[in-house]
Structure 1
Amino acid sequence: MSQNAEEPPALTLVSRPAEGPADGPDDNERRFVDLVGEHRPALLAYAIRLTRGDVGRAEDIVQETFVRAWLRIDRLTPEQGSVGSWLRRVAYNLAVDGHRMRQVRPPEVELQQHDVPMRQDGGDGTEQIVVGMVIRDMLTSIWPEHRAVVEEVYLRDRTVAEAASVLGIPVGTVKSRLFYALRTLRGTAAESGLRAS
């Protein structure tokens, strides 16, 4: 079969010129690992002094310094200047910036044990909040007329006669709507996996 003009030309691989080492991802990673191994202990000690002994903040500063070093790894060479000096300068700037930000931001205050309201049963009320949210969602799933009856009788603690008077409907209608509302709510609760206590 002869080659015609519509066929693409054969691909040929072109190698890099041999003048100088290739700076590929593997080379950068190796240089970065070497840089961290060589400079991390001294940089951490320096950062601990900058933060007056706060090791956690010092670790954060060192980590951010090395993130910035990674972004410039191709330019961090002894030929460009002292790598250690550059790392210390970045760490110093990060520490100063962090200090300034803490001065501007209001201080964080931890809650003391006596500041947290406790219930008599030892709970924190979370369960009641969740149950309230579930019930509110369930109430929106029933007809508005039924919901009004449930709210009057169960949420406002009114008798059937009082609910009838407030809603302006007969007592029998209140009983009927209450019956159907509760039946629907029980079905919804069962589908949701809730159980009556």
Structure 2
Amino acid sequence: MGATLTYTEAELVHGLKARDERIFSYLYDHYSPALYGVALKVITDETAAVDILQEAFVKIWRSIDKYDASKGRLFTWMLNIARNTAIDSLRSKAYKLDQKITDIDSGNLLSDPSLAVHLQVDHLGLSKVLELLQREQRIIIDLAYFKGCTQEEIAKILDIPLGTVKTRMRNAIIQLRSLLTQL
């Protein structure tokens, strides 16, 4: 039976600064579950959290020289890197665009009950009025008003010209206005 190898925080920092891959491997093995947990709490997507974990460890490896023991423990510093990496990912345009595309692909544009906006306006009967629009118009209205996309983003998501988005949106708004005045 071999003894379990442990390191002090100072040994970990020294080993990382010396680019010791055994120390880095030890750090990954012992701290990745906690850092993954932080990433998952922010991003709530397991696949994305794994990517964030990898990115966080790359940042830890590359920026260990910026670590200052007088400002806090190594573990706290690493947690902050993981958390900030997850927040940056959440705020990134690529992540937001991916989430919007996922919504379109899954066909949940207007029927997703978890969308608070839909639940709030449902008492107005807006969901039923939106169902009267053509599918392409519903998608554009949903992306613009319920998902917060710009017309440029909608054009990219749907892979259609910006002018087409503007025309469909204008026609949808005119039709909605007409339908709502009939109620």
TM-score where L is the length of structure 2: 0.40
Higher relative contact order (CA 8 A, sep 6+): 2
Structure number with larger C-alpha Rg: 1
TM-score where L is the length of structure 1: 0.37
Which has a greater percent of helix? 2
